[in-house]
Structure 1
Amino acid sequence: MQTIETKYGEFIAQHTANELRRKEILPVVFHESGVIKSLPLESQQTVVTPAGEIPAELISFHANGCINRIFPLNGKLSGYWAQEDEANLARPVTLVTPSGTITTRIIGISFYENETLRSITLWPGETISISTPAGMLDTRIGVSFTPDGEVSSLEPAKPTPVKTAAGEITAYDPDAIGVNGDWNSLVFDKSGAVVRVTTTLTRVKAVHPNGTTTVFTPGTRESLCSESEEEVVPMVVEMDQSAIRVRTSADRPVATLPMDTHVFFSEPYLPQLANFMEMMRCSV
């Protein structure tokens, strides 16, 4: 048994393992400077942070000694211990965020080197309501913040119309993976404008002054349900002051459209309704 001293108090490093959740004794890792970097705990301990009191089984630290990430649970999934088993141990945590106080179950939480909140990663099935430049949005998977406390990105919990430089786009990524909440499909810049959005429910038209119109729609791929069926692939639209960039699927190049030579329009894209049985996702 080893007690580790940090600026947040003393913690007992993991020194035993069990047959189900924690099959291995994970090492304590240090930065080159000697400051602790990763600390697996023997049992869940409470960490007092600027965002509130958070239970932890694994803590990582920045090189300056401030907390980087906290994981309330750190079990190892296997054929004998499933995600559902781990989720049953998760308890709601109350967090003070730049968007207000929330109570939810989290996989992890991260902080910048100055201890301001960087991101929150939610357990699958959890949703929270976040105040954003686009209004209050129901959020799943995760949300991230800038060092100044502004919402940087989030994962919409349901199809959500947002205003962009390319018109109103319904934001939703059915393929979103909840690894962490640091980077999500709906992204805002410092001014609050949408600079990246993923959609399967909107198409974008770009009109050139010479009358040429280019239409961008989400692509399709072979469905996991059957080789004879297809499903819609999320389309990513990025924008800045000079151009709008569209990728209709992961295997296609990005189309770059200068803002000063195009006029943009958006409209609903609902192939699922026109060809419902063929376009339906297996998970729906």
Structure 2
Amino acid sequence: MSTLNLEKYGKLEGVAYLETYPDGSPKACTLDEKNLIKTPVGTLIPSYGPPRPRKRESVALEFFQNGNLKSIALNEAVEAKTSLGVLSVERISFYEDGNIHRFFPLNGQIDGYWSEEEEAKLATPIDFDLAIGTFSVKVISICFYESGSLKSLTLWPGESIELMSPDGLVYIRYGLALYEDGSLKSFEPARPEPINTPIGIVIAYDSNAHGVNGDENSVCYDEVGKIKSLMTLNSAISISTGEEKKIIKPLMKRGKIDPERFFPEPIKIEFSVDTIVITQDSELTVDLTQSKVKAIIIDDPETKACGNCSECSHCG
């Protein structure tokens, strides 16, 4: 163990491990003794000491090369003030200027001794009152812009919420991202959802969505609410160019877990002013000024996303 003198944060006692940048400045460390460190959200106690249940095997402190604090894993959960109010947190990351980047309400080690289900039981739903909806949900992390505005939410597996999108009410799993003005940037559909696009209604859903991070999701809008891209399992694309016509639909591929079974692989469609880009095993760019392109529903979802089929024409 050793002592580390930090120009901006003072002395750290009981440094068990130290990683440095090429110039010798501290990059990350672990601690064996209790320390107090002044952070942009108050004086906190970084994680220290021997292993214990849930304790994540990672560094206690990370620093930017200029010496500013990059992240802190806390020894115990604390209440910290954010633009969303006071929240309980176990790990915080910061921007280089000191503003909060990401909050982790929980920071337990998921392994053979502590399961994701056990960790999720400790999660407490957080109340959100946003321009796109009001809801209460368990989150893995909350990401902020440098201004303090909410940037994204990563939801716990099994959690879902209903929000207002440019295409009406949608059900979301895994995550959502916002523009700095609070408008919806992207979301991960919890079930197949009808989305208005330049080629007609496309049923958006990504069966391969992983939910690692709410910053990026499969349904994406631009700043004015127009669709930018999506993934679909339930729609095909008809392309007519002169006398030539072809239909692109999801490919059936062997399952990764059970190679004896075949599953449809989602298609990614990206939209711009005069073109669309269709991605399967390769990319196909279609000029909308030269070709007639139309979305076709090939497999209706088991549960209609709109919830009112008698008054809906989305699905034909």
Scaled by the length of structure 1, what TM-score is found? 0.89
Asked whether the equivalents of residues 234 and 301 of structure 2 are also in contact (C-alpha less than 8 Å), the reply is no
Distance in structure 2 (CA, Å) of the matches to 1:214 and 1:185: 25
Partners of 1:100 and 1:193 lie apart in 2 by 19
Change (3 A) 1:191 1:25: closer
The CA deviation at 1:58 is: 0.5
SS at match of 1:140: strand
1:161 & 1:97 partners in 2: Cα distance? Answer: 23
Q: Distance in 1 between matches of 2:205 and 2:47?
A: 40
Deviation of 1:75 (Å): 1.0
Aligned to 1:282: none
Cα distance change on mapping 1:48 and 1:244 into 2, 3 Å:
same
Shift of 1:225: 6.1
2:117 is the counterpart of 1:75: no
* Residues 1:150 and 1:6: Cα distance change in structure 2 (over 3 Å): same
- Deviation track 1:86-136 (CA, whole Å, cap 9, x = no partner) reads 111111111233323321100001011111111000000111111211112
CA RMSD in angstroms, aligned pairs only = 1.8
1:55 counterpart letter in structure 2: S
Which residue does 1:159 correspond to in 2? 192
Query: Which whole-Å CA distance do the structure 1 matches of 2:300 and 2:86 have between them?
Result: 47
Q: Which runs of 5+ in 1 are unaligned?
A: 274-284
- Report the residue type matching 1:189 in the other structure: D
Shift in CA distance, 207/149, structure 1 to aligned 2, threshold 3 Å? same
| Contact preservation (8 Å) 2:78, 2:90 | yes
Structure 2 counterpart of 1:117, one-letter code: L
- What is the rounded CA distance, in whole Å, between the counterparts of 1:25 and 1:261 in structure 2? 55
Q: Given the alignment of the two structures, is residue 264 of structure 1 paired with residue 275 of structure 2, yes or no?
A: no
Q: Which residue of the partner structure matches residue 217 of structure 1? A: 249
Conserved? CA contact 2:54–2:108, under 8 Å: yes
**How many angstroms apart in 1 are the aligned matches of 2:106 and 2:273?**
42
Note closer, same or farther for the CA distance 1:137–1:39 as it changes in structure 2 (3 Å cut).
same
Q: Residue 261 of structure 1: SS of its match in structure 2?
A: coil
Equivalences, count: 269
List per-residue Cα deviations over 1:64-90 (Å, max 9, x = no partner): 110000111111111111111111111
Identity score, percent: 31
Q: What CA deviation, in whole Å up to 9, does each residue of 1:109-168 have, x standing for no partner?
A: 101111111100000011111121111211110000112221100001111111101211
Alignment of 1:47-196 (within 5 A): 47-196=80-229
Q: What corresponds to 2:310 in structure 1?
A: none
Question: Is this contact kept in 2: 1:52–1:94, CA < 8 A?
Answer: no
Structure 2 contact 133–162 (Cα < 8 Å) conserved: no
Question: After the TM superposition, which segments of 4 or more aligned residues of structure 1 sit over 6 Å from their partners?
Answer: none
2-side partners of 1:232 and 1:69: how far apart? 35
CA gap of 1:225–1:57, structure 2 versus 1, over 3 A, is closer
Distance 1:41 1:147 in 2: 28
Unaligned regions of 5+ residues in structure 2, if any? Answer: 1-33, 303-316
* d(CA) in 1 for partners of 2:180, 2:88: 23
SS across alignment from 1:87: helix
**Mapped partners of 1:160, 1:23: distance in 2:** 37
Cα separation, 1, equivalents of 2:215 and 2:77: 24
User: Secondary structure at the residue paired with 1:88?
Assistant: helix
Give the corresponding residue for 2:77: 44
Q: What's the CA shift for 1:191?
A: 1.6
Bigger mean CA offset, 218-227 vs 169-178: 218-227
TM-fit CA distance, 1:189: 0.8
- What amino acid does structure 2 have at the position aligned with 1:215? I
> What residue in structure 2 maps to residue 199 of structure 1?
232
Per the alignment, in what secondary structure is the counterpart of residue 122 of structure 2? coil
Is the partner of 2:289 in helix, strand or coil?
helix
Cα distance in 1 for residues equivalent to 2:69 and 2:260: 54
- C-alpha offsets along residues 18-75 of structure 1, whole Å, 9 cap, x if unaligned? 3331153623111122221111101011121112222111000001110000111111
Pair member with larger Rg: 2
- In structure 1, C-alpha distance between the alignment counterparts of 2:301 and 2:39, rounded to whole Å: 54
